[in-house]
A = this chain, B = another copy of it.
């Protein structure tokens, strides 16, 4: 393509590589988990890393994130949102690599992992018990993702993305507690959720040891993935990396 009148710029001749990395969260055994792949090749061979890879010339950044995620882990059809772009000059020993990080949330009941040729292993890890230091600056990216998740949790319905189709209010409360790292009052939680009017009674009940649980479904009407209510005031510690 014609590039007349841009001759002054040196970087035209040397371009950084551009990758996407995805912080995929799910809930497993009542704990927040993140998806990691074990690297097969240098650099950081044998280390765990966030799934991700190079962007193709004819796909959008978000498409690249979806494609890489599916290729590397088999995970697809998920909630995805751009997180932050990391580009310190020496974050990758090979060359200058700028990485656009995404957050993804997958339902607790949709987890079919697949290992690609490019990695040794793919696994969910509790964010409380990571397998040592991650490759590159992926610890920073993960921390940034966690911050974002916590902060959006409080004024959006993001948390519903982590639940199975059908769930109880106390299970939802449990997610909030897990991610926020604090206990919430049961009564106030019920009130908030009910007032927000984002749940639909499925008519189903789940039997257990005590009183059966009412099972709900997330109302996917207005704006679909869009947040519908504010859980409580947003926190001040927004992402700033």
Q: Which A positions have Cβ atoms within 8 angstroms of B?
A: 1-6, 8-12, 14-18, 40-42, 53-61, 81-82, 84-85, 87-89, 93-96, 98, 100, 118, 152, 155-156, 227, 230, 233-234, 236, 238, 240-241
For the complex, give the distance between the alpha carbons of A55 and B17 in Å.
12
Cβ contact within 8 Å between A93 and B1:
yes
In the bound complex, residues from chain B placing their C-beta under 8 Å from that of A53 are 9
A82-B85, A82-B241, A84-B82 known; A57 vs B16 contact (CB < 8 Å): yes
Q: Pick from B6, B18, B41, B93: contact of A41, CB below 8 A.
A: B6
Q: Chain B contacts of A42 at CB under 8 A?
A: 2, 4-5
User: Main SS of chain A's interface residues?
Assistant: loop
User: Chain B residue with minimal CB distance to A95?
Assistant: B1
Contacts of A60 in B (CB 8 A): 87-89
Please indicate the chain B residues that have their CB under 8 angstroms from the CB of A240 in the complex. Answer: 81
A175 CB to closest chain B CB (Å) equals 20
Instruction: Tell me if B9 and A54 are in contact (CB < 8 A).
Output: yes
Expressed in whole angstroms, the minimum distance between the Cβ of A149 and any Cβ of chain B is 13
What residue of chain B has the Cβ atom nearest to residue A233's Cβ? B233
Task: Let me know if A2 and B94 touch, CB within 8 A.
Answer: yes
Taking a contact as CB atoms under 8 Å apart, the answer to whether A89 and B59 are in contact is yes
Q: How far is the CA of A5 from the CA of B117 in the complex (A)?
A: 12
Q: Closest Cβ of chain B: how far from A237's Cβ, in Å?
A: 9
CA distance A95 to B57 in the complex (A): 9
Q: Report if A61-B98 is in contact (Cβ < 8 Å); known contacts: A9-B53, A93-B1.
A: yes
Residues of B within 8 A of A227 (CB): 236
**Is B11 a contact partner of A41 (Cβ separation < 8 A)?**
no
Contacts of A59 in B (CB 8 A): 89
12 CB < 8 A contacts A-B: A3-B94, A8-B118, A10-B54, A11-B57, A12-B54, A15-B18, A59-B89, A60-B88, A61-B85, A81-B240, A98-B98, A230-B236
Within 8 Å by CB of A57, from B1, B4, B96, lies: B96
